[in-house]
């Protein structure tokens, strides 16, 4: 049991070690499954991920997306219909060609994403403008044979909680409006998770396979590397044409639909853990924590029953929250460590003194503060929970702002790139800028321009080629 006490790693000094250890110790992920990039999700981590994803699912439903479920295995002939998309997934898509006993008639692809499965069906469903817009989402497992270093929650070969939304519209303008709606949905989602982000329009050369353009939500982890949190993609009519999704418009003419899609995955929970955690483990927002309040009895011989009864009473009075009364055999000190490690926002200690005085002692997980409340002041607990969330948000925001730097020359860029994002003047994010981006490859990646658009540079030069800078772009080293 004393093992839990040993958890103290300097998160900012040794993030990689901190991350893996906190995942294992806090029962988020067991990373010992014998297949690269595939992990076991422990009860506490699973609960946390589900709580996070359900926030987004609810938002999508509020915005009139319907939830459906499509098969995991996609016939090869369906998967290859959109050429650029197919080429984009050449290296990553897993193939099923047989059972243990016999070859299949047609190979099946383990979905790396579900455009092709969905749009095959939509071409049968969509007939008239009156059926549009069609807005569908699902949360499913997907498979990508990542060649880079894999890492629990962040870089996976099986993503277990891929939330993908797909839409079809009658006009280009409606699809563009949908892109805006999707961005607002994701804004709200990441705000609820207290995760700070930049919204970036991807350069032409990095656009999603088969798409017109896409926006990415990006954040920074404590080691200064950036992480893509989610992607909002305008597919134009490419898939509509490849899958022959046509509708009869008001004017009687047959037209191809305009499509968008957007997705996030459990890596957002990896970001949440990494950004809010401290050297003692997780720190969770009050609204999201699987256990919001833990009650720890400080037992005294011969008074156990009285103290435990009082604990039960407090637990019942707080029943609108997710409360755990820890009656295990561990010492109070061990319990403190375990629940701190798991990031439970509010700890309530109850000993003989509390019972005698009709009070409770509260410790906040986010800051060192102990608060005594009388039993008739329990409604203040919710307020304290909200203060914790507010404080975590403020801390994260401040930290994130310090991670966005500026550079006008290579020296500055090299110096600042370790911190997170660096804004630089750049020649172009269409195909013309590709060369300059490639020249920076060993130092950093050009992720694109800010959304909403910033003021253009005036009298600045591209940091690489020295020609007139037409845009500010963001550079970073990414996961």
Is 166 strand, coil or helix? strand
Q: Give least dist CB 250 to a copy of itself, A.
A: 16
Pairing of strands 103-110, 323-325: unpaired
Q: Give least dist CB 409 to a copy of itself, A.
A: 40
Here the tokens at position 371 are 């608060």
Q: Give least dist CB 106 to a copy of itself, A.
A: 8
Shorter beta-carbon distance to a copy of itself: residue 71 or 402? 71
Which of 265, 410, 337 lies closest to 5, judged by CA?
Answer: 337
Please check whether residue 388 is in contact with residue 414, taking contact to mean a CB–CB distance below 8 angstroms. no
Here the tokens at position 204 are 């032409």
Q: Give least dist CB 205 to a copy of itself, A.
A: 21
* CA–CA gap between residue 408 and residue 419 (Å, rounded): 16
Burial class (CB in 10 A: 0-12, 13-18, 19+), 320: exposed
Q: Give least dist CB 99 to a copy of itself, A.
A: 5
Eight-class DSSP state of 269: H
Cβ neighbours, 10 Å, residue 54 = 12
Q: What contacts 299, CB < 8 A, 6 or more positions away?
A: 307, 308, 351
Shorter beta-carbon distance to a copy of itself: residue 321 or 451? 321
Q: Give least dist CB 317 to a copy of itself, A.
A: 22
Is 167 strand, coil or helix? strand
Here the tokens at position 290 are 């699987």
Shorter beta-carbon distance to a copy of itself: residue 69 or 456? 69
Task: Find tokens 């400080």 and name the residue.
Answer: 298
Q: Give least dist CB 208 to a copy of itself, A.
A: 18
Shorter beta-carbon distance to a copy of itself: residue 92 or 176? 92
Q: Give least dist CB 188 to a copy of itself, A.
A: 22
Q: Give least dist CB 108 to a copy of itself, A.
A: 7
Compute the Cα dihedral for 200, 205, 210, 213 and give only its sign.
positive
Shorter beta-carbon distance to a copy of itself: residue 32 or 305? 32
Q: How many degrees, rounded to 5, is the angle at CA 87 between CA 82 and CA 90? A: 125
Q: Give least dist CB 376 to a copy of itself, A.
A: 30
Shorter beta-carbon distance to a copy of itself: residue 75 or 224? 75
Here the tokens at position 18 are 């901190």
β-strand partners of 326 = none
Shorter beta-carbon distance to a copy of itself: residue 234 or 292? 292
CA-based R_g, the chain, Å: 25
Here the tokens at position 261 are 């899609």
* CA–CA gap between residue 406 and residue 398 (Å, rounded): 17
Shorter beta-carbon distance to a copy of itself: residue 143 or 217? 143
Q: What are phi and psi of 443, to 5 degrees?
A: -95, -45
Shorter beta-carbon distance to a copy of itself: residue 26 or 446? 26
Q: Give least dist CB 224 to a copy of itself, A.
A: 30
Shorter beta-carbon distance to a copy of itself: residue 28 or 413? 28
Estimate to the nearest angstrom the gap between the alpha carbon of 119 and the chain centroid. 25
Q: Write the Ramachandran bin of 323: left for phi over 0, alpha for psi from -120 to 50, otherwise beta.
A: beta
Shorter beta-carbon distance to a copy of itself: residue 105 or 442? 105
Instruction: Note the residues at the interface with a copy of itself (CB under 8 A).
Output: 30, 32-35, 38-43, 46-47, 66-75, 78, 89-101, 104, 108-110, 117, 120-121, 124, 140-141, 143, 145, 157-158, 160
Q: How many degrees, rounded to 5, is the angle at CA 156 between CA 210 and CA 114? A: 35
């Amino acid at each position: 049991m004393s093992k839990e006490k040993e958890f103290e790693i300097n998160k900012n000094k040794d993030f990689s070690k901190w991350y893996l250890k906190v995942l294992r110790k806090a029962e988020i992920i067991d990373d010992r499954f014998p297949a690269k990039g595939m992990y076991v999700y422990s009860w506490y981590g699973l609960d946390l991920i589900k709580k996070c994803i359900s926030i987004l699912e609810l938002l999508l439903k509020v915005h009139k997306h319907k939830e459906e479920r499509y098969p995991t295995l996609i016939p090869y002939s369906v998967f290859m219909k959109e050429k650029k998309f197919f080429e984009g997934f050449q290296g990553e898509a897993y193939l099923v060609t047989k059972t243990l006993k016999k070859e299949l008639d047609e190979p099946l692809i383990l979905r790396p994403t579900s455009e092709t499965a969905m749009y095959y069906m939509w071409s049968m469903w969509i007939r008239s403008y009156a059926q549009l817009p069609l807005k569908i989402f699902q949360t499913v497992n997907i498979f990508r044979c990542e060649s880079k270093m894999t890492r629990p929650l962040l870089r996976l070969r099986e993503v277990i909680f891929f939330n993908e939304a797909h839409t079809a519209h009658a006009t280009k303008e409606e699809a563009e409006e949908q892109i805006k709606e999707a961005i607002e949905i994701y804004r709200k989602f990441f705000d609820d998770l207290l995760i700070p982000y930049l919204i970036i329009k991807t350069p032409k050369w990095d656009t999603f396979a088969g798409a017109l353009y896409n926006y990415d939500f990006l954040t920074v982890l404590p080691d200064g590397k950036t992480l893509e949190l989610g992607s909002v993609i305008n597919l134009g009519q490419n898939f509509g044409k490849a899958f022959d999704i046509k509708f009869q418009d008001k004017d009687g003419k047959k037209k191809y639909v305009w499509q968008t899609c957007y997705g996030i995955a459990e890596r957002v929970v990896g970001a949440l853990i990494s950004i809010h955690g401290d050297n003692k483990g997780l720190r969770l927002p009050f609204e999201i924590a699987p256990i919001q309040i833990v009650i720890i009895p400080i037992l005294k011989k011969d008074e156990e029953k009285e103290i435990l009864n009082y604990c039960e009473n407090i637990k019942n009075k707080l029943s609108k929250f997710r409360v755990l009364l820890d009656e295990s055999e561990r010492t109070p000190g061990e319990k403190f460590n375990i629940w701190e490690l798991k990031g439970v926002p509010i700890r309530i200690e109850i000993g003989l003194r509390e019972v005698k005085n009709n009070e409770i002692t509260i410790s906040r997980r986010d800051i060192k503060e102990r608060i005594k409340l009388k039993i008739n002041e329990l409604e203040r607990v919710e307020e304290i929970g909200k203060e914790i969330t507010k404080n975590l948000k403020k801390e994260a925001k401040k930290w994130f702002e310090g991670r966005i730097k500026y550079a006008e020359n290579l020296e500055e860029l090299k110096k600042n790139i370790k911190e997170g994002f660096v804004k630089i003047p750049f020649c172009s994010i269409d195909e013309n800028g590709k060369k300059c981006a490639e020249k920076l490859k060993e130092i950093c990646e050009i992720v694109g321009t800010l959304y909403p658009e910033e003021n253009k540079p005036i009298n600045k030069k591209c940091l690489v080629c020295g020609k007139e800078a037409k845009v500010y772009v963001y550079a970073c080293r990414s996961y």
